[in-house]
Amino acid sequence: MKKLLAFSRISLATLLLTLNCIVHIAPLLVVALFKAILRFPAFRAAADRTLMAIAASWIDVNSAMMNRLTDTRVTVTGLPEQALDGHFMVLSNHQSWVDIPVLQKVFNRRLPMLRFFLKSQLIWVPILGLAWWALDFPFMKRYSRQQIEKNPALAGRDIAATRKACEKFRHIPVSIVNFAEGTRFRAGRHRQQNSPFAHLLKPRAGGTAFVLDAMGDTLDTLIDVTLYYPDGPAELGDLFANRIAEVQVHVRTLPIPDDLKNGDYQNDPAYRARFQAWLNRLWEEKDQLLGALIKAHCTDHPAEHTGQNTP
Q: How many helices (H) and strands (E) does the chain have?
A: 10, 8
Average pLDDT (252-273) is 89
> Is the predicted pLDDT of residue 307 greater than 50, yes or no?
no
Domains of the chain by range and CATH?
72-300 (3.40.1130)
| Residue (of 47, 105, 113) closest to 76 by Cα position | 105
Question: Contact at 8 Å (CB) between 311 and 187?
Answer: yes
> Tell me, what's the pLDDT at 310?
53
C-alpha 149/C-alpha 71 separation (Å) is: 48
Confidence of residue 55 (pLDDT cuts 50, 70, 90): very high
User: Given pLDDT bands bounded at 50, 70 and 90, which one contains residue 143?
Assistant: low
The predicted-structure confidence for 99-130, as pLDDT tens digits, reads as follows 999 999 999 999 999 998 887 788 888 888 98
Give me the mean pLDDT over the 202-216 stretch. Answer: 84
Strands (DSSP E) contained in 32-173 are 73-77, 87-92, 114-116, 118-119, 139-140
Average the pLDDT over each of 46-50, 101-105, 122-126, 202-206 and give the range with the smallest value. Answer: 122-126
Measured CA to CA, the distance from residue 232 to residue 209 in angstroms comes to 30
Q: Note the pLDDT of residue 158.
A: 66
What is the value of pTM for the model shown? Answer: 0.89
Sign of CA dihedral 38, 41, 47, 48: positive
pLDDT tens for 149-175 read: 787 777 667 667 777 777 778 778 899
